[in-house]
Structure 1
């Protein structure tokens, strides 16, 4: 985001080494500073139909390295050419843990990133680092990252895993992968809702899924609410197609029988109010 949107405050830098201490409280955002040491390939992350371009950089502060995931473009900074031994200041960043690895990422409408910082702290850091470097002009390393994240990578490798019990206890906004077994479809209400698509004209309404699934794992259970995109993906059939092929004399729930007792990976967005939304 634009720097002028974030109120100007003096950063209080957290030593990178402190982020690796067991029990570090990740509920609070941190300010960090370091010398840019590596840049990854620009990647694309697709979430809920939206494509976000992300970059991964690495920074070094007094011999402690940290990877930082940034959800905005670095081209302007990199094309300027002043990247050797550049001091990067990152304020209001989120510390994340994934598979015993620690990294930092920006927060939407919050994080401020400054390049080639010339504050007193930055100059002192640069002076200390240059005294220990083998060469006064360290070249940037190329971080090995795939340029595009596939759906499989997102589910199996790049998103943290959790359990139903872990979701219920979660007190942060985050995204997790959860393995559950679908036990039954809740039929207290309709399995769809009517919607219209409005632009310059109003098109005839169509039915869209709104399905509640009762799911379990080894020790707990919960209910996931799936809307049209997720339910269509799970059933391999749109709501309109189901109604076209459905025998009106039969129970529509029979159409869902094939997904019962299946083990399915869901991507779940956890919210601060303890609610969560499941995606496929």
Structure 2
């Protein structure tokens, strides 16, 4: 087969594995609903899903006649499902990107290949003056609390753990435990978040991603620059700014470690 055929097969395989993992977490969520709320809620969830596909008016009529407390649990059930599906997609997307980097090289490597004939001194000065300031803005539909995000992150880590068939049941047990914890954690705020709350939510992502992702990117940047003949002075290296409302990646003089 051609490389295009290989890519198509890989994509189909990945999509199949993604759907299987989403079904797997959906089944575990169904078991959580039965354990925590009783089989009636799971039956209602499945009925709403079926009617939504087959008869929208019947689904609307069913929802209009649902008591408020039950409706709130129904909304939470669907919200939790979509959280789990989103986490699964992110895990698989990460795997795809990792496989692509291994096969084709990362974005920095491809960019370095395009710049290999550029003037090294010009590239060095460009990097020395590099200043990146991402702005973190809370999405109006993002309501997940930090406690929920932490639990979803643990689920993502479990999903991304390679296991052999004999360990699958043990992993599913741990996934089920964490899905139980997600269900037991109220994801909605009872009051409107203040700007400080939104800032703390942004800092969550900085705390979790800053040390690993940013550090890896900067190390890769330095390595790729050296590969094309750009050697930064010993007293200068790319370094991330401290976590905050904005972050800077700039070439700055090094200082003694503390």
Give TM class, smaller chain.
Answer: under 0.3
Looking at both structures, which has the greater relative contact order when contacts are Cα pairs under 8 Å and sequence separation is at least 6? 2
If each structure's strand is expressed as a fraction of its own residues, which one has the higher value? 1
- With structure 2 as the length reference, what TM-score do the two structures score? 0.24
- With structure 1 as the length reference, what TM-score do the two structures score? 0.23
